[in-house]
Chains A and B, each alone.
Chain A
Amino acid sequence: DTGVSQNPRHKITKRGQNVTFRCDPISEHNRLYWYRQTLGQGPEFLTYFQNEAQLEKSRLLSDRFSAERPKGSFSTLEIQRTEQGDSAMYLCASSNPGLSYNEQFFGPGTRLTVL
């Protein structure tokens, strides 16, 4: 297993466009998390899934954001009508509390730039 993967690594879009990011977690991990990180800050929690169920969403996740994990494996994060304030690094992490103490392993991130 090569760890958590994310695609694309970089995305440049114009304001008002929709974007979608994908995350493939470590295969035996049942929990999947999305975080957002802006320059000079630590990551901020957006949402998480246990298997296919979305169990918690941050108030940071406005109506323009939606996340899915339809079969409990990969997940997608979609941002509709992007705004310049959405520019950030979007990080995905996965864990399996049954294997370790909910240690979360991160992917390389998707860097979004909204022009």
Chain B
Amino acid sequence: TQLLEQSPQFLSIQEGENLTVYCNSSSVFSSLQWYRQEPGEGPVLLVTVVTGGEVKKLKRLTFQFGDARKDSSLHITAAQPGDTGLYLCAGDNAGGTSYGKLTFGQGTILTVHP
């Protein structure tokens, strides 16, 4: 059973467009982390959201944690080719059952064309 559903799985857009990636679950998480991964490399942490309703901004990236701490979104404004990569959401302590273990979504492969 996939605890974290990430959508869309693939996204191909032109430079300058905006996009949103969604991460949904029926489980409550203590926190949720977003990572970006390049081919052949490990995931790189972008942000951690902890409080329900929290919004964090990282330059052109905006991250939101749902009020019930079950879902999250990543919005990129004016995408650039350098944003290309695999974006992963990961929840910590799903349902309060296992502190420390991250549960990952299946990822969104983003391609930004010049």
Question: Which residues of A are interface residues toward B (Cβ below 8 A)?
Answer: 4, 6, 31, 33, 35, 40-45, 48, 50, 55-56, 91, 93, 95, 97, 100-109, 111
In the assembled complex, the CB of B2 is this many whole angstroms from the nearest CB of chain A, namely: 9
**What count of chain B residues pass the 8 Å CB interface test?**
27
Besides A101-B31, A102-B99, A104-B33, 14 other CB < 8 A contacts?
Answer: A33-B101, A35-B102, A42-B6, A48-B101, A93-B42, A95-B100, A101-B48, A101-B50, A102-B100, A106-B44, A106-B45, A108-B41, A109-B40, A109-B41
Is A42 a contact of B88 with CB atoms below 8 Å? yes
- 1/0 per residue, CB under 8 A from A, across B76-114: the answer is 000000000000101010000011111111110000000
In the assembled complex, the CB of B39 is this many whole angstroms from the nearest CB of chain A, namely: 10
- A56 partner residues in chain B, CB cutoff 8 A: 98, 100-101
- A33 partner residues in chain B, CB cutoff 8 A: 100-102
- A42 partner residues in chain B, CB cutoff 8 A: 4, 6, 88, 90, 104-107
